[in-house]
Each structure stands twice: as structure tokens, then as C-alpha cells.
């Protein structure tokens, strides 16, 4: 038995293993989908029967108002039944997502690092992780199958291309998440001075930390594209019973930014012990501006070095032609006259 046959058998066994892992999950998903549809249909029929009975009942002369009230409440009851079905469907879908993520294949595809990257990119919850894991498995498998079929006349080439395409397609989503997370971190660094200035102004008019954060999210959330949604999520968690320190520390752990961690530490200390925060915020804002200026100077220095190579490649030949060209032409003419005189 040669190596190509062994590789083909190993690929076949791996495909059978993936199918064995996926078939129970697909069966559970179809069962939950059918259950959700059945519940929705039953609730819709029940609401329709109730509405038809209320409309068909002959109203007494003095019962015109109750009949009208029953007819008016029929449509809300139907919508309520549909809403219950949708909630049950959402619960079943959530359980399916949890089972898929807790399966061995789900844990291997969506690790703790991928979960952190998804949260840094703004994708939260089991639904986002389940969709990411499903796409990360299905898309590379489909592309690998297409590459295998494309190079099928040559079995060794087909196996090589299938492995290469699967590996590349499996790693590309993580690279995209890393790039998006790094871009969001850079935008967060740019938004921090604006956030500090807003907090200082709102504290100056007498608002508390909680009120200031609520106003920033409600009125200026569109300006803060990265930190705004995170503060909104922190406010929602604070409204459900978590402490302000826990909600803010989550943002500090999510983004690897020392300035953000310093700001969160300052806000949590003020929220716990009280005290004036305007002057510390002003000094912190000045330090952020100095840090931003230093970072911009560093970027300008790097850009100058990069532009030097561009100038050497593009402008140096032109300068040589303009400055040394007449001299070279004069030397060529002189050599031509000398050669003609010697003849």
C-alpha cells in the first residue's frame, strides 16, 4: 500500500469522523426547528379560533362594548402567541448553540482566544460564537472539496491542494478577527481623550459618574464608535444588578490599553470613595494628549524613513539626469571630436 492510498484512507476516515460528529447536532437542530414551528402554528391557530369565536358570537343590545373590546384584544392576543413562540424558538436555538459550542468539535474550533477576539471585535453571545464556528468549519471544508475535485485527475496534487486550501481557509477568519481587533484598539486610543473631556465637562455641571456615562451613551454614542457600545453594555449590566466596578473592569480586561485601565481605575475609585474628579480628569486628559502627540511624532518619523527609500528610487535618477546629464553629453561630444581629429 503506497503513501497516496494511506493519505486517501486517512482523509476518508477524517471525513467520516466529522460526519459522525455533525449528524447528531444536525438532527437536534432539525428537531428543535420542527418543535418551534409546531408551537408557533398551535398558538396561531388558538388565537385565530378565539378571535373567530368572539366575532361569531351575536352580541346582545347591551353587550356591544364587550364585543368590541373582545375584537380589539384578538389581534394583540395573536401577536402575544406569536411572541411566545418566537421566545421559545430563541431559547431552543440558544440551547443548540450551547451544545454545539460545548461539543469537542466546537471547543476545538472556537477556543478561548477566538472568544476574546470576537468580543474585542464587538460580537458577543453564544450566537456569534456558534455562527463563527460553523462558518470556520463549513467554508474550509467546502473549499477543500472544491480544490480536491479541481485537481482530481492527479491524486497527489488533489490531496496537497485540499490540505493547503483547508489550512488557509481555516486560518483566514482568525487573521481577519485579529486585524479588526487591532484596528478597534487603535480607534479606542483615539477616542479616549474625547471621552475624558466629556466626563470632565459633565462632572463640572454636577452630574455623577453614572449619570455622566448614561448621557455620553445616549447623546454622544455615535461619536464614540468603539467605546460607546461597550459603555452601553456596561450600563445595561449595571441596570441588571452588577456593580459599576465590575462593569467597567470588564472593559479594561477586554482591551489591552494601559490608558483605558488607568481611567477605569480612577472612575471606580471615585465611584467607591467619592471626591472631586475634575482636576484628576484634566491632568489625565493632558497626559493623554501628550502621549498622542508623541505617538504621532513617532509615526511621522517612521513615515520619513519610508519616504526616503521612495525618494531615492523615484527622484534620484531624475536629479542625476538633470545635474550630470549636460556634463556627460559634453564629455561624449569631446570624445567624439577627439576621435574624429585623430582619424
pLDDT tens per residue, range 197-216: 888 888 888 888 888 888 88
Q: Of 108, 132, 151, which marks where a domain is finished? A: 108
**Whether residues 195 and 99 fall in one domain:** no
Number of domains in the chain: 2
Q: Does residue 64 belong to any structural domain of this protein?
A: no
Q: Does residue 26 belong to any structural domain of this protein?
A: yes
Q: What is the pLDDT of residue 87?
A: 62
pLDDT tens per residue, range 48-90: 766 776 665 554 444 444 444 444 444 454 554 545 655 655 5
Q: Does residue 215 belong to any structural domain of this protein?
A: yes
pLDDT tens per residue, range 4-46: 665 565 566 556 656 665 666 666 666 556 655 655 655 566 6
pLDDT score of 160 more than 50: yes
Q: With contact defined as beta carbons under 8 Å apart, do 295 and 258 qualify?
A: no
Q: What is the pLDDT of residue 176?
A: 92
Q: What is the pLDDT of residue 60?
A: 46
Q: Does residue 173 belong to any structural domain of this protein?
A: no
Long-range contacts formed by 155-158: CB under 8 A, 24+ apart: 155/4, 155/8, 156/4
Q: Of 64, 92, 108, which marks where a domain is finished? A: 108
Give the mean pLDDT of 117-128: 87
Q: Report how far residue 169's alpha carbon sits from residue 151's, in angstroms, rounded to the nearest whole number.
A: 17
Q: Does residue 103 belong to any structural domain of this protein?
A: yes
Q: Does residue 301 belong to any structural domain of this protein?
A: no
Q: What is the pLDDT of residue 122?
A: 86
Question: Whole domain around residue 234: which residue ranges?
Answer: 186-292
Q: Does residue 67 belong to any structural domain of this protein?
A: no
Does the pTM surpass 0.85? The reply is no
Q: With contact defined as beta carbons under 8 Å apart, do 196 and 212 qualify?
A: no
From first CA to last CA, the distance across the chain in angstroms is 82
Give the mean pLDDT of 97-114: 83
C-alpha angle with apex 305: 299 to 310, nearest 5 degrees?
Answer: 120
Give the mean pLDDT of 253-274: 84
Question: 89 CB contacts (<8 Å, ≥6 apart)?
Answer: 36, 39, 40
Q: Report how far residue 307's alpha carbon sits from residue 313's, in angstroms, rounded to the nearest whole number.
A: 10
**Whether residues 96 and 192 fall in one domain:** no
Q: What is the pLDDT of residue 335?
A: 82
Amino acid at each position: 500500500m503506497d503513501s497516496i492510498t494511506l493519505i486517501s484512507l486517512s482523509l476518508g476516515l477524517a471525513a467520516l469522523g466529522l460526519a459522525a460528529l455533525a449528524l447528531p447536532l444536525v438532527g437536534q437542530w432539525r428537531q428543535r426547528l420542527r418543535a418551534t414551528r409546531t408551537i408557533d402554528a398551535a398558538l396561531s391557530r388558538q388565537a385565530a379560533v378565539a378571535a373567530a369565536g368572539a366575532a361569531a358570537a351575536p352580541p346582545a343590545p347591551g353587550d356591544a362594548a364587550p364585543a368590541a373590546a373582545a375584537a380589539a384584544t384578538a389581534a394583540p392576543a395573536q401577536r402575544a402567541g406569536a411572541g411566545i413562540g418566537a421566545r421559545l424558538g430563541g431559547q431552543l436555538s440558544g440551547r443548540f448553540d450551547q451544545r454545539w459550542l460545548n461539543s469537542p468539535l466546537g471547543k476545538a474550533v472556537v477556543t478561548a482566544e477566538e472568544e476574546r477576539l470576537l468580543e474585542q471585535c464587538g460580537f458577543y453571545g453564544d450566537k456569534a460564537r456558534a455562527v463563527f464556528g460553523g462558518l470556520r468549519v463549513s467554508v474550509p471544508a467546502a473549499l477543500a472539496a472544491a480544490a480536491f475535485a479541481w485537481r482530481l485527475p492527479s491524486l497527489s496534487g488533489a490531496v496537497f491542494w485540499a490540505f493547503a486550501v483547508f489550512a488557509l481557509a481555516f486560518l483566514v477568519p482568525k487573521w481577519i478577527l485579529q486585524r479588526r481587533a487591532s484596528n478597534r484598539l487603535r480607534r479606542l486610543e483615539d477616542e479616549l481623550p474625547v471621552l475624558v473631556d466629556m466626563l470632565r465637562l459633565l462632572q463640572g455641571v454636577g452630574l455623577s459618574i453614572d449619570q455622566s456615562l448614561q448621557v455620553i451613551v445616549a447623546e454622544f454614542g455615535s461619536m464614540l464608535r468603539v467605546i460607546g457600545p461597550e459603555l452601553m453594555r456596561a450600563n445595561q449590566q449595571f441596570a441588571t444588578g452588577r456593580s459599576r466596578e465590575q462593569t467597567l473592569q470588564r472593559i479594561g480586561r477586554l482591551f489591552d490599553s494601559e490608558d483605558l485601565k488607568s481611567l477605569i481605575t480612577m472612575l471606580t475609585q471615585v465611584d467607591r470613595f467619592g471626591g472631586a474628579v475634575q482636576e484628576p480628569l484634566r491632568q489625565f486628559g493632558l497626559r493623554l494628549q501628550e502621549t498622542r502627540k508623541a505617538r504621532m511624532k513617532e509615526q511621522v518619523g517612521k513615515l520619513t524613513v519610508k519616504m526616503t527609500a521612495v525618494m531615492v528610487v523615484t527622484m534620484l535618477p531624475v536629479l542625476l539626469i538633470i545635474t550630470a546629464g549636460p556634463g556627460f553629453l559634453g564629455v561624449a561630444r569631446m570624445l567624439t571630436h577627439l576621435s574624429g581629429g585623430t582619424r
